[in-house]
Structure 1
Amino acid sequence: MKSPLINALPREIRDQIFQYVLVSPTGYISLVEAASDDWPWRHLKEPLKIVPTLADGTILEDVTINLSILLVCKQIYHESKDLLWKHNTLRIQRPADLNSFMVWDSLSNQLSRQLQSVELKFDLFVPRKFADTQKALQTFIEWSRNGALKKFCLVFTKRVNRRTGHDESFQEVLGRWRGLPVWGATPPPSISDCEKYMALLRSLDSPEKGFAYGVAKKMFLDTGLWTRSPLEKLMWLRRWLPFHPQWFAEELNHAVGGELWMDGVLCYKDGVKIEDVFDMSKLPRFLQNIATETATQA
């Protein structure tokens, strides 16, 4: 006997219902561990839950995408089984998280065959995270070559300074790349550590070892400049322009390919410069004059 849903509604309406249930309103989802106190039966329950995430990456843990509609009947299952991974971008907060997902065979098979869009947050030039990052990127490459993956996005992990309130992740990465002392307790990377990361990124655009042809690649990073006042921007630029941040951004885009977005602005596309967020001419004229006078005196 067919479900009343099938008897009463045409396929077009059913598809809209399926998408309403299975597609995140933001287009982004994350996998989080499902809390369960039903010991010792917790291992028999669903280990992960699928939750929407906001555009800024905030995870809505109180909202869950319920997959029970897939259990109604065989026809509804076959009509809706591909929607979850076709219309949602899977956000992975850390490369190491992918390992915990892949231990579940059914989930691993679904992701490798059906997932079409993935976003990975990562830390660049952190030696202890290299192995997990490498494994995650190689997994995505395999999904693009043997599965359905068509969109891939890398996002720099933000490092907000509690004192200033500004994101300092870009200058931290730039400092590592230029051999400056590293902030915090993170062990400083060697030159070979940095080169390993850059070689890994370059492999993503390799015809032989990289993503399949046609995969749309994007990288997002935040310089923290957009949150600063004009005077703070001037001070930042005077401090960091000698280390050529625009060259570093260009290196990243040449390595990965696709699009490089900085502070929400498309700056490079396939090696072509579109916008320069480090351009001093965008500062108020009186600050430009101060910068010019200081440079002349120096």
Structure 2
Amino acid sequence: MQEEKRTIKYNDAIRNECNEKIAEYLEELPNYCAAFNSSRARQIQVRARKENLRDIKLFFRFITETNPLFKDKSLKEITPEILEQFTASDFEDFANWISEYNGKDKNGADMTYTNSDVGIKRKLSSVRALYRFLYNREYISSNPSLKADLPKLQKKDASTTKILEKFQREPFFAEVDAAYDNAFEKIENEFVEKGKNSKRTLLLPAIAMRDKTMIYLLITTGMRLSELCGIDCTDYSREMGTINIIRKGNIKDSVYISEEVQGKFSNHHQLSKDEVPHD
């Protein structure tokens, strides 16, 4: 019996990837970090929890690498009692340390990482969240992280946000259309030379239209890239002229799209059905 294939949606794939990374971090961190992560599961999304643990791991690494008293300890040996000994100056030292520190990239090569005030504030906020959890659960009797000063960020001026007018968008879309026409011509030439001998080859026209539609969606709706990647064909409602997206914070929303973009969405869907034979 042939096993049924299941298409994993973008959001599911991201969730699985984050959960795997969380499990990896928890293997290296003390047990109370697992309890901390569980408590945050009801408050924030999985990606934010992954980033929390990554920041906390970095904080523990700072402790073991810069403090002579703890240089021989593993990350798992950092106890709440050790954390309670920290002072405001220790948190300032951590903020300075993460502004530029050495680490490894995904391939294990040496790399220098830098953080702006935004990154420093986020990492300190993760550490503060851990301290708040430890204090509320009575692992520690005081919360020294409250003495840490977070970087003050300049608020964005909404009036500086620029929205492209139609006359500004049209030249850009003309370039996109020209690139699509050029790609489609190459695809047709490939069909003539090599024939339609695989499902991948058959899908090329639909893929080209998909890419074009994605650019139009980004420009005309202003949605985030992560929101765009989470879209499935079933999220599009031709009758309503809307597309369902999942916004930051796992909030579901419907976005109205122009008739022009609706047409491209329909063309992509039709090309997928026409070009690829169903088994």
- TM-score normalised over the length of structure 1: 0.20
Based on CA coordinates, which of the two structures has the bigger radius of gyration?
2
Greater relative contact order (CA < 8 Å, ≥ 6 in sequence): 2
- TM-score normalised over the length of structure 2: 0.21
